[in-house]
Structure 1
Amino acid sequence: MEKSIKDVAFLLLLSFLLSILKSSTAIDIITTTQILRDGSTLVSSGGTFELGFFSPGNSKNRYVGIWYKKVPNSAVLWVFNREIPLISTSGMLKVIEPGHLVLMNDTKNVVCTSNTSRIAQTPIVQLLESGNLVLKEANDDNAENFLWQSFDHLSDTYLPGTNFGRNSATGVENPLSSWTSNEDPAPGDIICYLDPTGYPQAFIKRGAVTIYRMGPWNGFRFSGAPNVSPTFTNKLFMNKSTSYYREDSIDKSVISRATLNQSGVIQRWVWVDQTRGWVIFLTLPTDNCDTYKLCGAYGTCYIGNSPACGCLSRFVPKDTESWIKGDWSNGCIRRTPLNCQKGDVFLKYSNIKLPDSQYSTFNESMTLGECKVECLKDCSCTAYAQLDINRKSGCLFWFRDLIDIRAMSSAGQDIYIRMASSELGSHRGSSNKHLDLPLFDLTTISNATNRFSIDNKLGEGGFGPVYKVKVHKDGMLEEGQDIAVKRLSKTSMQGIDEFKNEVICIAKLQHRNLVRLLGCCIQGEEKMLIYEYMPNKSLDLIIFDQTKSRLLDWHKRLHIVNGIARGLMYLHQDSRLRIIHRDLKASNILLDANMNPKISDFGIARSFGGNEIEDKTNRVVGT
């Protein structure tokens, strides 16, 4: 028994010593006198990456690849012989003079080679701690002198430190390409590449069809894409011969990769030691609004709307019939044609993903004011935006129809679009001239809502959030009176036109069954409407609640229905203008303290002359 225990102890010690020996003899270099055979591996100096032979999935074919050594069952990050597999386990990887990395089969025929044109006196191959496999002159660590490197020949994975783009001087073009299948790493039909045409932006294509566009670089990120992780620095490098994007790790302990899968989706993965698993940090495209030019020229996509596509403000569908049927491919046109000779203007549109910049030019030193002057000189210049929002400098100019625009809930940008000068007043539509409406001070409202605190928020609609405010002293309303403030959201698809429309429609209307507009606030980018406060909120919150709906007996229900009918009768027949609400629903019926109904939300209402009885709409609206 004692001898058996000693034998076991000896075997354990021997195993431990062998493991130490094995780790200490791990190599990261192949010289011309060495051969890496199937079954052996290279390991980077810090033990992060490993190169060796593998078979994907259930395939029996053999490939040379790189993976994370410290991650169990790590996905393969790069493949040398993607298109030419080995059919046996007798493959050999070696370096030959004057400087080539070659993969040979069991008959010593070359299956795959680095095809380098430069030569070295003492060539070696080294697996770096960055995951880059490099062919270089021995003892020369200058990256600019590398004869060949795997970072210039991406598979389906991007690692920090990789130059993603194009170098016309060297002829290196470095796109990501999906695997054909999980068992075949050959390039599939999905690619992601950096297009330097106009101003650089990234595209994902399936064959010849573009399925996603990551907008132009803005100094922080690609427009329309989320911010990168704070564990990376990111930058776009450009000169006459080179355009490439690069991320570098700030925290070297973070294990991360970005992959392009066979569905055309880019995912960034981060390894979490605590859970021993990968976590998806971001996914692109994010939703249907990322579909390339889904809404056509001058159409904008907002994922919170149904349908998602709409025309930019002051634009109308080019083909109304198709648009109504859900075919938005023809896009939108200006409702007022341009007239360059008579003078055009530029109107600001905010919080959007910048349009396709393939047909753009740029200037890196101009101010935003100089951008306007320059674009105004050229009648073919359709829009401009600030090039670098980080440095607040430079201009990006567009010269064709603007396509692939989407509304952004955050991280959107401003663009200035060329419009007929007659649209200037429409765009500003915030003036209360001739409306006889009191103007509220922004500071007063901000303080009263505790800077628009969520605690004072009553709800939110397509226009934006609504807040309850108790007026203390304003010179227009009685002290202590409660009011409701509807604040135009920066991400709302209802813009200046809807704001102006609501003011015009109900500013001078007086009826007990219409919500009363008390004033407005227009300061800087802020646009707000001030209403009388309805303590019982909206009808939908009562009738669709099983508990609250019991409070409404048939007498109260009939009272509410009659009130709504009286309000509509006034709008349709008795008011100065015939007004069609176009969005009448339970959520737009507000109830006062006595459960009296009041029709609200006239943002998309239409008005008619006193003797008009019909008209045609030019866009789908309402619920």
Structure 2
Amino acid sequence: MGIGNKTIASIFDSTMFVLILFSLLLSQHHCAEVYEITPSQPFSQTQSLVSPSRLFELGFFSPNDSVNKYVGIWHTNISPRKVVWVANRENPLAASDTLANLTISSNGTLELVDGKQNSLWSTNISVPSNGSAAELLDSGNLVVKDNDIGADPLWQSFDYPSDTLLPSMVLGFNSKSGKRNLMKAWKSESDPSAGLFLVGLSWDVPSQVFIWINESKPYWRSGAWDKSRFIGVPDMDNQYLSGFALHDDVNPGTKYFSYRFFDNTLSYFGISSDGVLSLKLSDNGSNWGLNWEAPVNPCDIYGTCGVYGVCKGSESPNPNCECLKGFVPKSNEEWSNGNRTGGCVRTTELFCDQSNTSRSFASGGKEDGFRKMVGLKLPDFHELIEKLGPDECKIRCLNNCSCQAYAQVNNIGCLVWSSDLIDIQEFASGGMDLYIRLANGELDKESQ
């Protein structure tokens, strides 16, 4: 049976209808991309706020099919998707709430409201005009600005990191105001609320990057900054010199770390929910590759071998701990059972620590000396004694009975330690020299 003209016309009409509908859908999808949020143009869940070059986008998401919904920022078209910032990480929306939106309120505040118009998150700023607008920059920074007031942002997401550090973001602190910029890990892969691990810059001089557990317990540290790299990261070589910087007192009392790659490689530092800090790169703009991470073995974990213990690189689950020369385990029982965190104690009392009546008998009347160890991650709690050469550094430490060790580090100077030596690691390559104070009787001829 042949096909009639009416049937052909009907097929043609149906095909055209499908094509027109498809075109409309594409058009609506394209229109879903917006470039700013204004008081008259709130941001809905069907939209995507994109940066000018479409490097980043902001939108609503539910991580790993969570029952909750969040507003976040991520790179456009890079797999796997990495959410680099979350607005309402502590106040999620119900995934079933389809009416929630981002809006600029009458006082210029960017605000997330749920379907019942309850505020779940806001920038908490107030400006005397209604010209505020929110934009997403190609750096990944969400800014709220008011051109009637000035060009500088009234608020920016870079001041409130989540678990990610992007190029041009800063990690640091203002000692005067007490404000700190910290990376805060997600609680889990499906829960972006603040978890156990924090990443930040220490207060000491020179500063170190730390991973802390529960805000204060050290978990990993980078070693001191030597004006070009962190000396406790042996694979941080010259490839980083052009992009990593630690800025000190740009404004009085401020110190912060930042980075950027001059070839514009897309990248991010992230802290995972289980405490691993990593640097990932996207050379081709389509997927992420691991460049560096820490900690990677038991020796990287802070204080694994306790005070006066040194951890030697180990790929096994059990750290290879040894006491420094002149020291023995504080508890032989704990040490033999594999618990080395109690550390080590001196076998011979220092000349400095002896009373005047016992010095001659115990040490033969000889002053303490130093034993050199090479290739180390230097201990925590260093103190910087500026403008001293190696000889002066040694004398300064020797003449101070509280000084337990010293090191002369290029681009830093004289570092001394007046507290128990902790978190020492021996590297397979790289590392620094450390001179450890010992009683004269513990020194061999090569170390005197």
The verdict on a shared fold, with TM-score over 0.5 as the criterion, is yes
Letter in 2 for 1:289: C
Match of 1:257 in 2: 268
Q: Which of these residues, 211, 223, 236, is aligned with residue 215 of structure 1?
A: 223
Return the alpha-carbon distance in structure 2 between the equivalents of residues 267 and 169 of structure 1.
30
Return the alpha-carbon distance in structure 1 between the equivalents of residues 417 and 371 of structure 2.
14
Give % identity.
37
Return the alpha-carbon distance in structure 1 between the equivalents of residues 413 and 425 of structure 2.
23
Return the alpha-carbon distance in structure 1 between the equivalents of residues 99 and 424 of structure 2.
53
- Note if contact 1:297-1:330 (Cα within 8 Å) is conserved in structure 2: yes
- Note if contact 1:224-1:408 (Cα within 8 Å) is conserved in structure 2: no
Letter in 1 for 2:261: S
SS of the equivalent of 2:393 reads helix
Match of 2:43 in 1: 36
- Note if contact 2:306-2:342 (Cα within 8 Å) is conserved in structure 1: yes
Match of 1:150 in 2: 157
**Displacement, 1:22?**
6.7
**Displacement, 1:127?**
0.8
SS of the equivalent of 1:316 reads strand
Alignment of 1:403 with 2:384, yes or no, is no
Match of 1:133 in 2: 142
Over 3 Å counting, the alpha-carbon distance change for 1:47 and 1:324 in structure 2 is same
Match of 1:308 in 2: 320
Alignment of 1:108 with 2:132, yes or no, is no
SS of the equivalent of 2:110 reads strand
- Note if contact 2:131-2:148 (Cα within 8 Å) is conserved in structure 1: no
**Displacement, 1:367?**
3.3
SS of the equivalent of 1:372 reads helix
Deviations 1:282-325 (A, max 9, x none): 22101011121111111101125986001223333333343333
Over 3 Å counting, the alpha-carbon distance change for 1:329 and 1:26 in structure 2 is closer
**Displacement, 1:346?**
3.3
Match of 1:267 in 2: 278
Match of 1:96 in 2: 105
Return the alpha-carbon distance in structure 1 between the equivalents of residues 424 and 37 of structure 2.
50
Over 3 Å counting, the alpha-carbon distance change for 1:5 and 1:329 in structure 2 is same
Over 3 Å counting, the alpha-carbon distance change for 1:139 and 1:214 in structure 2 is farther
Letter in 2 for 1:395: C
Deviations 1:369-409 (A, max 9, x none): 4333333332212222235x3xx342222210110101011
Q: Which of these residues, 68, 73, 96, is aligned with residue 66 of structure 1?
A: 73
Alignment of 1:362 with 2:384, yes or no, is yes
- Note if contact 2:80-2:287 (Cα within 8 Å) is conserved in structure 1: no
Q: Which has the higher contact order (CA 8 A, sep 6+)?
A: 2
Instruction: Find the structure with the greater CA-based Rg.
Output: 1
SS of the equivalent of 2:64 reads coil
Match of 1:244 in 2: 256
Unaligned runs of 5+ in 1: 430-623
Alignment of 1:202 with 2:209, yes or no, is yes
Over 3 Å counting, the alpha-carbon distance change for 1:16 and 1:411 in structure 2 is farther
**Displacement, 1:351?**
0.6
Unaligned runs of 5+ in 2: 1-7, 357-365
Return the alpha-carbon distance in structure 2 between the equivalents of residues 296 and 214 of structure 1.
18
Return the alpha-carbon distance in structure 2 between the equivalents of residues 196 and 146 of structure 1.
28
Over 3 Å counting, the alpha-carbon distance change for 1:81 and 1:394 in structure 2 is same
Letter in 2 for 1:243: K
TM-score (structure 1 length as normaliser): 0.60
- Note if contact 2:231-2:377 (Cα within 8 Å) is conserved in structure 1: yes
Deviations 1:185-240 (A, max 9, x none): 11112222222146422222332543323322233322322317937611122235
Over 3 Å counting, the alpha-carbon distance change for 1:136 and 1:12 in structure 2 is same
Match of 2:4 in 1: none
**Displacement, 1:119?**
6.7
Return the alpha-carbon distance in structure 1 between the equivalents of residues 393 and 123 of structure 2.
47
SS of the equivalent of 1:179 reads strand
Superposed, 1:105-504 pairs within 5 Å as 105-116=114-125, 122-138=131-147, 145-197=152-204, 199-207=206-214, 209-225=217-233, 226-227=235-236, 230=239, 233-239=243-249, 241-252=253-264, 254-273=265-284, 276-304=286-314, 308-340=320-352, 343-357=367-381, 360-387=382-409, 389=410, 392-428=411-447
**Displacement, 1:355?**
0.8
Return the alpha-carbon distance in structure 1 between the equivalents of residues 224 and 372 of structure 2.
18
Over 3 Å counting, the alpha-carbon distance change for 1:188 and 1:228 in structure 2 is farther
Over 3 Å counting, the alpha-carbon distance change for 1:163 and 1:336 in structure 2 is same
Alignment of 1:47 with 2:54, yes or no, is yes
Q: How many residues align?
A: 420
Deviations 1:333-367 (A, max 9, x none): 3333222386333332211111112xx32245443
- Note if contact 2:74-2:81 (Cα within 8 Å) is conserved in structure 1: yes
TM-score (structure 2 length as normaliser): 0.82
Deviations 1:73-105 (A, max 9, x none): 512111000011122121121223544221112
SS of the equivalent of 1:373 reads helix
- Note if contact 2:298-2:319 (Cα within 8 Å) is conserved in structure 1: no
Over 3 Å counting, the alpha-carbon distance change for 1:191 and 1:20 in structure 2 is same
**Displacement, 1:54?**
1.2
Over 3 Å counting, the alpha-carbon distance change for 1:104 and 1:413 in structure 2 is same
Could you tell which deviates more after superposition, 22-31 or 286-295? Answer: 22-31
Return the alpha-carbon distance in structure 2 between the equivalents of residues 309 and 3 of structure 1.
82
Over 3 Å counting, the alpha-carbon distance change for 1:41 and 1:428 in structure 2 is same
Return the alpha-carbon distance in structure 1 between the equivalents of residues 166 and 212 of structure 2.
21
Return the alpha-carbon distance in structure 2 between the equivalents of residues 370 and 2 of structure 1.
98
Over 3 Å counting, the alpha-carbon distance change for 1:26 and 1:322 in structure 2 is closer
- Note if contact 2:308-2:327 (Cα within 8 Å) is conserved in structure 1: yes
Deviations 1:521-563 (A, max 9, x none): xxxxxxxxxxxxxxxxxxxxxxxxxxxxxxxxxxxxxxxxxxx
